[in-house]
Amino acid sequence: MAETSAEVTRLIQRVALRDRSAFRQLYQRTSAKLFGVTLRILKDRAEAEEALQEVFVKIWQRADRFVPGGSSPISWLVAVARNHCLDILRARRPTSETIETALEIPDSSPDPEDRTMGRDERARIEACLGELASDRADAVRGAYLDGYSYEELANRHNVPINTMRTWLRRSLMRLRDCLTG
Amino acid sequence: MSDETDITTQPDGERALVAEYVLGLLDSGQHEAVRAQIEADPRLQREERLWQWHFSALDDQFGDVPAPERLQRLTEERLFGRAEARGGLAGLWHNLALWRGLAAGALAVAVLAVGLATMMPQPSSTQLATELVAALQAEGSDVQFVALYDSESGNVRLVGLSGVAGPQQDFELWAIQGENPPISMGVIEAMTRNEVRVGPDVAPEWGPGSVLAITLEPEGGSPTGDPTGPVVAQGAATPI
């Protein structure tokens, strides 16, 4: 696993230097993973195929922004794919007025960059999700892994949309306390 | 809309916004507003990284789904295809996507492609004096290469059109001339361009009818100096 990770990091760094053979290898190593992401979120094969190509175009264009040592290289690639799919879905959903409220954030968000993702961290988010009511934990997972909107989550859980919002925001804050506690 | 009220009246509503942003739960107006604020504030950037980092622990739950093979070619075409197609013969040579697109009936099409390419205006000095071309393939194998011999450089250029070696395996190129035992021309890479020198051991007999063969060998090439694995592609050099 660590070896794979180091290898993918090297490939991304070579892609940043415009190495096409590295790009080809990176594609061969990671396209199944990223197709899994685009397919799961977009839930339509043709769209997922189109999105996968766009994702790899973005990876080629943005490889120089990857910072090794922080998140795992696979997580970085998954984030590019996931965010691309979410952009596609978001563009189809209705939008509200821009919010005016300035964000307030606790003074010290612990910086995760100096830790690498390992088994402990995976166990930790599962443990913290486990402390939430199971339907709320499912909603958080559904948002991250399936890209569900509040509306979709509300329909799936059969609650009004505002209830879902409230649930999820509270759950996220509890999750944060647990993860950073 | 009751969104604004919700955000300000819910305890921790504002703090949850970055998490909602990372999860992709905000609509486009809110998403853009939060993105702009994050961009302007290192503390918010840290909060974003925090969430991104923790959620990425769930990434294992995205299963692998093999993508259709053509998508790789299409992606490369998007990135490199058009620019390279304009680059004359050198560009044509470097246009892997084009070669891969020609994989069917490789020999006939390769000859045609080279013929067309040499008629194109050549602004550069990289014109190939291609004299021999070979399509390498074999029954029951998906390995296909096209080879061009350029007498000026004395090199064989090979493009892998399809087929990859397995883990801990490599493709090795051999020259077979008449009844002589195969002579290794070295390990070559799949699915890309290779430039292989026709060495002094091969050169004396090299010409039309010389056979290029590719075998599947242990990583790093045949340990004995003779082919040890199956022939996955071969073809005879043909003058053009």
**All domains of chain A, ordered by start, with CATH?**
2-92 (1.10.1740.10), 118-180 (1.10.10.10)
Of A110, A101, A93, the residue nearest A153 (C-alpha): A93
Answer whether B55 sits within 8 Å of A125, measured CB to CB.
yes
Which two three-digit tokens encode residue B207?
Answer: 């010409």
Residue in B closest to A166 by C-alpha: B10
Instruction: Work out the average pLDDT over B102-123.
Output: 49
Which two three-digit tokens encode residue A32?
Answer: 């199944």
> In this structure, which amino acid lies at residue B26?
L
Residues A95-123 have pLDDT tens digits of: 765 555 555 555 555 655 555 566 777 88
Query: Please, which pLDDT band fits residue A34 given cuts at 50, 70 and 90?
Result: very high
State the pLDDT at residue A3: 64
Q: Which among B41, B53, B63 is the nearest to A71, CB-wise?
A: B53
Candidates A38, A53, A65, A177: best to mutate against B (most CBs of B within 10 A) is A53
Answer whether B2 sits within 8 Å of A162, measured CB to CB.
yes
Residues B218-236 have pLDDT tens digits of: 988 998 989 998 888 888 8
Answer whether A98 sits within 8 Å of B1, measured CB to CB.
no
State the pLDDT at residue B143: 84
* Strand pairing report for B211-218 and B231-236: antiparallel
Chain A: give the shortest CA distance to residue B207, in Å: 30
Answer whether A90 sits within 8 Å of B25, measured CB to CB.
no
Residues B44-100 have pLDDT tens digits of: 888 999 999 999 999 999 999 999 999 999 999 888 874 443 344 444 555 555 555
Own/partner long-range contacts of A139-145 (Cβ < 8 Å, ≥24 apart) = A139/A164, A139/A167, A139/A168, A139/A171, A140/A168, A140/A171, A140/A172, A140/A175, A140/B23, A141/B58, A141/B61, A143/A168, A143/B23, A143/B24, A143/B25, A144/B23, A144/B55, A144/B58, A145/A40, A145/A41, A145/B58, A145/B61, A145/B62
Percent of chain A with pLDDT over 90: 65
Q: Which among B8, B62, B78 is the nearest to A57, CB-wise?
A: B78
Answer whether A71 sits within 8 Å of B7, measured CB to CB.
no
Candidates B23, B30, B79: best to mutate against A (most CBs of A within 10 A) is B23
Q: What are phi and psi of B35, to 5 degrees?
A: -60, -45
State the pLDDT at residue B84: 42
| Polymer length of chain B | 240
Query: Please, which pLDDT band fits residue A4 given cuts at 50, 70 and 90?
Result: confident
Answer whether B15 sits within 8 Å of A104, measured CB to CB.
yes
Answer whether B71 sits within 8 Å of A53, measured CB to CB.
yes
> In this structure, which amino acid lies at residue B109?
V
Cα separation of B49 and B136, whole Å?
A: 50
Answer whether B54 sits within 8 Å of A96, measured CB to CB.
no
Neighboring chain A residues of B64 at a CB cutoff of 8 Å: 32-33, 35-36
Please tell us whether the domain made up of B105-239 is placed in CATH 2.60.40: yes
Neighboring chain B residues of A101 at a CB cutoff of 8 Å: 4, 7-8, 14
pLDDT of B127 strictly over 50: no
Query: Please, which pLDDT band fits residue A2 given cuts at 50, 70 and 90?
Result: low
pLDDT of B115 strictly over 80: no
Beta strands in B70-226 (DSSP E): 130-136, 144-150, 155-162, 169-176, 183-188, 193-197, 211-218
pTM greater than 0.80? no
Residues B150-206 have pLDDT tens digits of: 777 788 888 777 788 888 889 999 998 888 889 999 999 887 778 888 888 888 888
Instruction: Work out the average pLDDT over A143-156.
Output: 96
Write out the residue limits of the CATH 2.60.40 domain(s) in chain B: 105-239
Instruction: Work out the average pLDDT over A63-75.
Output: 84
A18 φ/ψ sector (left φ>0, alpha ψ -120 to 50, else beta): left
Instruction: Work out the average pLDDT over B213-218.
Output: 91
Q: Which residues of A77-111 are buried (b: 16+ CB within 10 A; e: fewer)?
A: bbbbbbbbbbebbbeeeeeeeebeeebebeeebee
Answer whether B67 sits within 8 Å of A52, measured CB to CB.
yes
